[in-house]
A and B are shown apart, each in its own frame.
Chain A
Amino acid sequence: MHAMRARETHLTLETTTAQPRGVRLEIRGLSKHYGKRRVLQHTELRIEPGGFIAIVGRSGCGKSTLLRLVAGLEPATQGVIELDAQEVKGLRGDIRVMFQDSRLLPWRRVIDNVALGLPKGDQPAAADVLAQVGLADRLNDWPARLSGGQRQRVSLARALVHNPRLLLLDEPLGALDALTRIEMHQLIEGLWQRNGFTALLVTHDVQEAVALADRVILIEDGRIALDERIPLARPRQRSDPLFGVIEKRILDRVLQQPAEETPAREPAWLATPAHGLRWAV
């Protein structure tokens, strides 16, 4: 881990001043219905090239659906998604997704997993990206021998080896422990700054969103309820008092809305909250 930390400091010093290579993402009037269930309703969003956007919200609010529509994994019911003024229809070569489960092919070694989809002669490129995520010494291991955090790092390397212009992250750190998550934040931030792609992160963790993103978007009932810029300098320090203020503000906004599933009958003592307590569940 020491080597990785040293590399991370090096990466964060090297903030990119070159022209961002990310795509400009524009979403207009996007809706998605599954039969009668409306998941997204007339969503509008604009993301500038090279931006890092986090989407937060309760479970089932539609944030993962939005990501999958942008990725081209599912067709929209209505509306338009444009990348650099080109409409997205289906899968595209310049978009890469990082899933919540690492989805590595267990019958291929780590290096072959990272090189998935690359033309044959490109193993050195795969080895190079593996070094960037700090797993250069695990090239020839089977995925079953790696820990959860290491597998997600391989998954990240696999996404980045194609030099995507848009990286979609679907709650990638949800299954990891808290310490590994913090290290992954630093890794992702560093790689984003170095490569300059546009990043769209879906997460339920507001702290993660504030730590990584330029803008935080809240989806509620299939609509965008909040779109807030994060004015903090990078690298983000959790100890910064302003960090805590912003995080609390967004978290309060997220928890304000009661959950969809409310119990049919509330006992009397729950109905009148004591001391201004609100039930988050």
Chain B
Amino acid sequence: MPDVIEAPGLGWAPFASGLRLPRLDASAVLRKLGQRALPWLVPVGLIALWQVAASLGWLSTRVLPAPSDVVKAAWTLAESGELWVHVKVSAGRALSGLAIGGGLGLALGLLTGSVKFFETLLDSTLQMVRNIPALALIPLVILWFGIDETAKLFLIAVSVFFPIYLNTFHGIRNVDPGLIEMGSSYGLTRWQLYREVILPGALSSILVGLRFSLGLMWVILVVAETISAQAGIGYLTMNAREFLQTDIVLVGILLHALLGKLADMFAKGLERYWLRWHPGYQSASTA
């Protein structure tokens, strides 16, 4: 269907060749809207169904409160400032754990990937430790660190360490040796070679490790906060469970989901910026 429609002209009059009007193609506009809206159809539909069921009394509020109640509870918490305190504490724990575990994983990955001696020395030990599930360590962690912040940070750091370590190691090892040969034959010093060829080449693997770690981070946080806490989203949820405040429990769960989504979006944004040279990340329109 053409983008313009030709209106008939009037011979001698101005616009003699005929008007050219943009076609307001209603069906095309609707089709486009439909495409954008389709992914939201199922979740919105479910929420609508849920609201109706709760309002009509089919669902007991103790089992599953109405979405309107959840929103109300969230609003109350936000107004009183309590919500932000909990979110800040939880996020702080998670990010500190990520900084410690992730930082260590990155450093060791770079070391064992680049220097053969350290690979031989450290890698097999780390692979053995990797196979111990962090959550199975909880009783030991409580014995060592008590039920304080340190215990939670330790659990998160240990879980976050391994994906980043493995992917950094793998990324450095898999840099194209042809590029390294080219770089050294073009007069790059060892340090320049590392910075210009090896690190950028390993970056896509490192970012994959980061995304894995970010996902793990929230999961471990939830468990860690059940050990014992005085503040945080897990504390909020557990407390509400004690008092049968199901709506606040749901607020907690939704907060976890939302923060997890935000973290993933952040990692994706990093990827899109740092890997914008990659043909897989380029759309046809961008340069």
A→B interface (CB under 8 Å):
71-73, 91, 93, 96-97, 99, 101, 103, 105-109, 116-117, 140-145, 158, 162
Per-position contact with A for B245-287: 1 when CB-CB < 8 Å, else 0?
0000000000000000000000000000000111100100001
Instruction: Give me the 3 closest cross-chain CB pairs, A-B, nearest first.
Output: A144-B279, A103-B182, A107-B200
Q: Please state if A73 and B178 are interface contacts (CB–CB under 8 Å).
A: no
Q: Please state if A73 and B185 are interface contacts (CB–CB under 8 Å).
A: yes
Q: A103-B182, A117-B186, A117-B187 are in contact. List 9 more A-B contacts (CB 8 A).
A: A72-B185, A97-B182, A103-B179, A105-B179, A105-B200, A107-B201, A107-B277, A108-B196, A145-B287
Q: Please state if B188 and A117 are interface contacts (CB–CB under 8 Å).
A: yes
Q: Please state if B197 and A105 are interface contacts (CB–CB under 8 Å).
A: yes
A-B contact pairs, 8 of them (CB 8 A): A93-B187, A103-B182, A109-B277, A116-B183, A116-B196, A117-B186, A142-B276, A144-B277
Closest to B186 in A: A117
How far does the alpha carbon of A117 sit from the alpha carbon of B184 in the complex, in Å?
Answer: 10
Q: Please state if B277 and A142 are interface contacts (CB–CB under 8 Å).
A: yes
CB contact between B185 and one of A71, A106, A143 (< 8 Å): that residue: A71
CB of B181 closer than 8 Å to a CB of A: yes
- Chain B residues with CB below 8 A from A72, complex form: 185
Q: Please state if A91 and B200 are interface contacts (CB–CB under 8 Å).
A: no
- Chain A residues with CB below 8 A from B278, complex form: 106, 144
- Chain A residues with CB below 8 A from B178, complex form: 99, 101, 103
B→A interface (CB under 8 Å):
178-179, 181-188, 196-197, 200-201, 203, 276-279, 282, 287
CB contact between A73 and one of B181, B183, B276, B282 (< 8 Å): that residue: B181
Give min CB distance, A197 to chain B, whole Å: 16
How far does the alpha carbon of A176 sit from the alpha carbon of B178 in the complex, in Å?
Answer: 19
A106-B277, A106-B278, A144-B282 as given contacts; A91 in contact with B184, CB under 8 Å? yes
Give min CB distance, B118 to chain A, whole Å: 26
How far does the alpha carbon of A108 sit from the alpha carbon of B203 in the complex, in Å?
Answer: 13
How far does the alpha carbon of A109 sit from the alpha carbon of B277 in the complex, in Å?
Answer: 8
How far does the alpha carbon of A73 sit from the alpha carbon of B196 in the complex, in Å?
Answer: 20
Closest to A103 in B: B182
Give min CB distance, A119 to chain B, whole Å: 11
Most buried by B among A73, A91, A105: A105
How far does the alpha carbon of A107 sit from the alpha carbon of B201 in the complex, in Å?
Answer: 8
Q: Please state if B185 and A141 are interface contacts (CB–CB under 8 Å).
A: no
Give min CB distance, A147 to chain B, whole Å: 13
- Chain A residues with CB below 8 A from B279, complex form: 144-145
CB contact between B186 and one of A106, A107, A116, A145 (< 8 Å): that residue: A116
Closest to A116 in B: B186
Q: Please state if A116 and B277 are interface contacts (CB–CB under 8 Å).
A: no
- Chain B residues with CB below 8 A from A105, complex form: 179, 183, 196-197, 200
How far does the alpha carbon of A106 sit from the alpha carbon of B196 in the complex, in Å?
Answer: 11
- Chain A residues with CB below 8 A from B181, complex form: 73, 103
Give min CB distance, B68 to chain A, whole Å: 50
- Chain A residues with CB below 8 A from B188, complex form: 116-117
Q: Please state if B182 and A99 are interface contacts (CB–CB under 8 Å).
A: yes
Q: Please state if A141 and B179 are interface contacts (CB–CB under 8 Å).
A: no
How far does the alpha carbon of A93 sit from the alpha carbon of B287 in the complex, in Å?
Answer: 34
How far does the alpha carbon of A145 sit from the alpha carbon of B278 in the complex, in Å?
Answer: 9
Most buried by A among B179, B182, B184, B188: B182
- Chain A residues with CB below 8 A from B282, complex form: 142, 144-145
Closest to B276 in A: A142
- Chain B residues with CB below 8 A from A73, complex form: 181, 185
Closest to A140 in B: B287
- Chain A residues with CB below 8 A from B200, complex form: 105, 107
Most buried by A among B184, B186, B196: B186
Give min CB distance, B40 to chain A, whole Å: 34
- Chain A residues with CB below 8 A from B184, complex form: 91
Give min CB distance, A12 to chain B, whole Å: 28
- Chain B residues with CB below 8 A from A109, complex form: 277
How far does the alpha carbon of A143 sit from the alpha carbon of B165 in the complex, in Å?
Answer: 30
A73-B181, A105-B197 as given contacts; A158 in contact with B186, CB under 8 Å? yes
